[in-house]
A and B are shown apart, each in its own frame.
Chain A
Amino acid sequence: MTCREAIDVLADFVDGVMPPELVAELERHLAGCDPCRAFLATYRKTRALGAAAGHLEMPAEMRARLRRFLADKLRTT
């Protein structure tokens, strides 16, 4: 497996949807390739950071406006 092939399959590997035989092949490549190990570690961290950044709460005032908006709509329909 080349570096390009290793990088191409990282999403499936990180997401746990990769066939076992391919996992073994990737792990063999990673064992001998420092740059790809660094790439994998930062790729995995990037996924976690993106998830953390996206975990937003709807602001309370927006929720209150939504409640009023829907109540008004339902009254007039």
Chain B
Amino acid sequence: MLARAATGDAEALEMLMTRYSGRVYRLAYGITRSAPDAEEVVQDVFLQIINKGAGFEGRAALGSWIYRITTNLSLNKRRGKRRELETSLDELLPTFLPDGHRAGDRAFLVADWSETPDRALLSGESRRVLEAAIDRLPEHYRAVLILRDVEELSNEEVAQIVGDSVAAVKTRLHRARMAMREQLTRHLGAGA
């Protein structure tokens, strides 16, 4: 299919787009958080697929390779942009006393809003808070979050794609989810 697409075969190109464009777009947008930037990344990724992908024909590694080049191009696109939106995650993580019990200003943020219907949480002000929480994550955290929780890859697959250890992937994922949870709880907790 890749070889045919590289010769301009419209049917092969369409098959490639059907199979991969959605995934590439989701990941590119998830990292860049910008539709124009994601579109440029998608175009660049497909150029690379056509130009360099022939060696992956029929191999399971093709998907991982596509995720890898999408991640790298998206992170490059983000370099130097919108840093001001990304704050230290430390202020969004739970705090504890030396003996492991809860402590600090955020210790009260344990309200259980989990029974709130998804429809309500994914619309209006709650949706805005959720999107802002994702925006505040460092881009390499967002890459892991999308690959794990949206694309549903394993920790091992994600580690291979982002070129880091499984332990680092798990740490980023956990910190990203906790930071998002904290911001949602600040918004929703009072009414829970």
Tally of B interface residues using CB under 8 Å: 55
Nearest-Cβ distance from residue B159 to partner chain A, whole angstroms: 13
Give Cα A75–Cα B174 distance, bound, in whole angstroms: 46
A70 touches B13 (CB 8 A): yes
Say if the beta carbon of A56 comes within 8 Å of chain B.
Answer: yes
Contacts known (A42-B113, A42-B185, A66-B17); A56 close to B100, Cβ less than 8 A: no
Residue among A34, A44, A52, A59 with the most chain B CB within 10 A? A52
Contact between A70 and B46 (Cβ–Cβ < 8 Å)?
Answer: yes
Q: Find out whether the CB atom of B47 lies under 8 angstroms from the CB atom of A2.
A: no
A49 and B114 form a contact (CB under 8 A): no
Neighbour of A41 across the interface among B112, B173, B184, CB < 8 A: B112
B122 touches A47 (CB 8 A): no
Contact indicator B177/A58 (Cβ below 8 Å) = no
- Cross-chain contact B25 with A65 (CB below 8 angstroms): no
A17 near B155: Cβ-Cβ < 8 Å: yes
Consensus secondary structure, chain B interface = helix
Contact indicator B42/A2 (Cβ below 8 Å): no
The residue that A11 contacts in the complex, of B22, B122, B177, with Cβ under 8 A, is B177
A3 in contact with B101 given A41-B112, A50-B134 (CB within 8 Å):
yes
| Closest Cβ neighbor of B148 among chain A residues | A15
Residue from A7, A57, A63, A66 within 8 A of B94 (CB atoms): A7
A3 and B102 contacting across the interface, CB-CB below 8 Å: yes
Per-residue contact bits, chain B 1-40, to A (CB 8 Å; 1 contact, 0 not):
0000111101001100100011001100110000100010
| Chief secondary structure at chain A's binding surface | helix
* C-alpha spacing A7/B96, complex, angstroms: 10
A53 CB–B CB distance under 8 Å: yes
A74 to chain B, nearest CB (A): 4
Distance in Å: Cβ of A10 to nearest Cβ of chain B: 7
Tell me the complex Cα distance, A21–B16, Å: 45
Residue pairs across A and B with Cβ atoms less than 8 A apart, 12 shown, are: A11-B174, A35-B102, A39-B94, A45-B114, A50-B177, A50-B180, A52-B122, A67-B13, A70-B46, A71-B8, A73-B47, A74-B6
List 17 other contacts, CB 8 Å, given A11-B177, A42-B112. Answer: A2-B101, A3-B100, A15-B148, A35-B102, A39-B181, A41-B112, A45-B121, A46-B181, A47-B149, A49-B118, A50-B145, A52-B122, A59-B35, A63-B17, A71-B8, A73-B50, A74-B5
